[in-house]
Amino acid sequence: MELEFDRDIISSYDTVADVTLCQEETLESIVPDACPDIERIVDVCGQAALSAKQAGSGVATVSGMVRVSVLYQPEGGSGLRRMELGLPFTCQVEAPGLTEQGVVLASPRLRSAEARALNPRKVLLRVDLAVDVTACQPVQRSVCRGILEGEQAGICQRQYQGESYELVAVQEKPFTFSDQIRLQGNQADAPQLLAVQAQPVCTESKLIGSKLIFKGLVEVTMLLQEAGGGLTSARESLPFSQVMEIPQGGEDGDCQVQVELTQLQCDPAVGDERSMEVVLELLAQAKVRSRRPVTLLQDVYSTAWEMEVESSTQTLCQMGEQSMRTQTIRELLETGEMVRGVAASRLSLGQVTQTREGAQLLLTAEGWLTVLYLDEEEQVRCLRKMIPVSCRLDCPEEYRCICSCSCPGEVFASPSAGGVEVRFSLDFNCLTLSNLSVAAVEQARLGEARVSREGAKPSVVLRLPVPGEGIWEIAKSYGTTIQQILQANELEGEELPDGKMLLIPGVR
């Protein structure tokens, strides 16, 4: 007789690449004719924006643009001048198993940037980038849950009942919004915008049916030069709220939404010299993970027929811990001179490395600090330093950790004896996962009848179980059922008593 199988299709995404690439880009540029000659470069303030992503055969490609403002002191002049430069970048990641139907998620960050004056009219720009790249490939796995109407052939089935924590949806949505930022101060003259940065962050996400509702803030920081030459900074939080369609989500899914900047425009508002008009183009990238119940046919045999069974190993993802850990940092940056005041401070994040120490992971994020301060002669100086920030996480060796890091608030900097004291916080968002391997039946066929092959056999066998042997293995080897062994030995559960002989009835 032919066997009819109860099969299930598991649709999900495999993460075929999840890396952080660090690379340098350089550019030589001529000072525009409208700008004065360079006497001293003070700072380079910039931001990396995502332009495009592409999934190919075994490779993921990400491209973008780094836009920077080179701030310098002009020859024979006072105050600071700005020179704007753009530097494109492209990076590729090997992603075995990725096809054109895959999805690439990316997050570029500018770790640091510096410029050197080759002469008063020419600069060499160098930027250091960190690009998080995740490549996801949609897959469908066919699994066998059992054999339908197998009682007619005396079939006994052993099933695994569990769950798998699957990546069920990867979706993205571009969106644009604009807002006005009112600058503080009562000066009649409009300030000069020297540099602007925007950092979007998703603060809340929720699935309702097939719709993902997410909210967040874009932290916009500006460095301004007032008419008298003094430097000021402005910071504003611009809220956003969006809805994204995710048909595969389900309301019980866990959402992770990352919002990336693709374009930023900041100009003085028309008719108001103390306001700035900000236009932001953003890309929301969402991943949804969900617990899915899984039933697998682990083993099968027949009491009436020999069977040929083909088995394989199914890998199920198990969720460990999902948590956020905040680390507060307080650091003294030495200047070697007296600091009269701090004009601006900012933090850029590099890659997050993981080091295993037994059952713990040491997570270390690169924090690239930049502080603009006034020295004893009221000259603007720039101080840069990379500060490693570490966090410990309990994580058994069979688990792996997916970690992202963000700075949730402002970087505070103030003059202190010997330099500048800075204070900031970093959030480590951690998800630990492990793989569980489960033996599963792929195919099975009936062979010869047991009686015709074995001939006459005793109706009862007396047997001592060997260590590690279970009642399923004994029943299978003798072609009987678990229930008959339990009844013959007056056992209530499948746990076998130690050192006791078992009566094993045969099936006729």
Query: Could you tell me the CA-to-CA distances from 64 to 53, 95, 109, 263 in Å, in that order?
Result: 9, 20, 10, 10
Same domain, 110 and 151: no
With respect to residue 425, please indicate whether it lies within any of the assigned structural domains: yes
In a domain, residue 499? The reply is: yes
63 lies in the same domain as 168: no
Same domain, 211 and 164: yes
Same-domain status, 150 and 295: yes
User: Considering 112, 127, 144, which residue would you say is the last residue of a domain?
Assistant: 144
- Residue 496's CB is within 10 A of a number of other CB atoms, namely 16
Q: Which domain holds residue 108?
A: 6-144
User: Is residue 447 a part of any domain in this protein?
Assistant: no
Domain count, the chain: 4
- Residue (of 400, 346, 338, 347) closest to 374 by Cα position: 338
Cα four-point dihedral sign 156, 158, 161, 163: negative
Q: Say whether both 88 and 35 belong to one domain.
A: yes
Dihedral angle over CA of 241, 245, 250, 255, nearest 10? -50
> Does the residue 73 lie in any domain?
yes
3-state secondary structure of 478: helix
Order the strands of the 341-357 sheet from edge to edge.
341-357, 360-374, 380-394
Whether residue 407 contacts residue 426, with contact meaning beta carbons closer than 8 Å, is answered with: yes
Q: pLDDT 10s per residue in the chain (508 long)?
A: 689 999 999 999 999 999 999 999 999 999 999 899 999 999 999 999 999 999 999 999 999 999 999 999 999 888 899 999 999 999 999 999 999 999 999 999 999 999 999 999 999 999 999 999 999 999 999 999 999 988 888 999 999 999 999 999 999 999 999 999 998 876 667 889 999 999 999 999 999 988 999 999 999 999 999 888 889 999 999 999 999 999 876 678 899 999 999 999 999 888 887 889 999 999 999 999 999 999 999 999 999 999 999 999 999 999 999 999 999 999 999 998 999 999 999 999 999 999 999 999 999 999 999 999 999 988 999 999 999 999 999 999 999 999 999 998 899 999 999 899 999 999 999 999 999 999 999 999 999 988 755 555 567 888 888 888 889 999 998 889 999 999 998 888 888 888 788 999 876 5
pLDDT at 298: 95
Residue 96 amino acid letter: P
Q: Exposed, middle or buried, 239 (CB in 10 Å: 0-12/13-18/19+)? A: exposed
Looking at residue 186, its pLDDT comes to 65
What CA–CA distance (Å, rounded) separates 146 from 299? 9
Q: What is the DSSP letter of 339?
A: -
CB 240 within 8 A of CB 158: no
Structure token pair of residue 189:
């003259």
Same domain, 210 and 294: yes
- Contact 28/123 with Cβ under 8 angstroms? yes
Residues 159, 125 within the same domain: no
Residue tagged 């309990």 (tokens): 394
Assess whether 126 and 151 both reside in one domain. Answer: no
Instruction: Identify the H or E element spanning 17.
Output: strand 4-30
Phi-psi group of 479: left, alpha or beta (phi > 0 → left; psi -120 to 50 → alpha; rest → beta): left
- Residue 119 resides in a domain: yes
Q: pTM for the complete prediction?
A: 0.90
CATH of the domain at 494: 3.10.350.10
Pick from 303, 330, 361: which residue ends a domain?
303
Residue type for position 476: K
Residue 312: inside a domain? no
Distance, in Å, from the CA atom of 429 to the CA atom of 28, rounded to the nearest integer, reads 38
234 and 286 fall within a common domain: yes
Tell whether 450 is covered by a domain: no
User: Are residues 126 and 167 both part of a single domain?
Assistant: no
Which residue(s) pair with 40 in the sheet? Answer: 73
Is 487 within 8 Å of 494 (Cβ atoms)? no
Sign of torsion, CA 476 481 487 488?
negative
The answer to whether residues 437 and 461 touch, using CB atoms and an 8 Å cutoff, is no
In a domain, 308, yes or no: no
Whether 150 and 214 share a structural domain: yes
Structure-derived torsion over alpha carbons of residues 132, 134, 135, 139, reported in degrees to the nearest 10: 180
Q: Answer with the one of 303, 334, 368 that is the final residue of a domain.
A: 303
- Give yes or no: residues 408 and 328 share one domain: yes
Query: What DSSP line would sit under 215-260, residue for residue?
Result: EEEEEEEEEEE-TTS-EEEEEEEEEEEEEEE-TT--TTPEEEEEEE
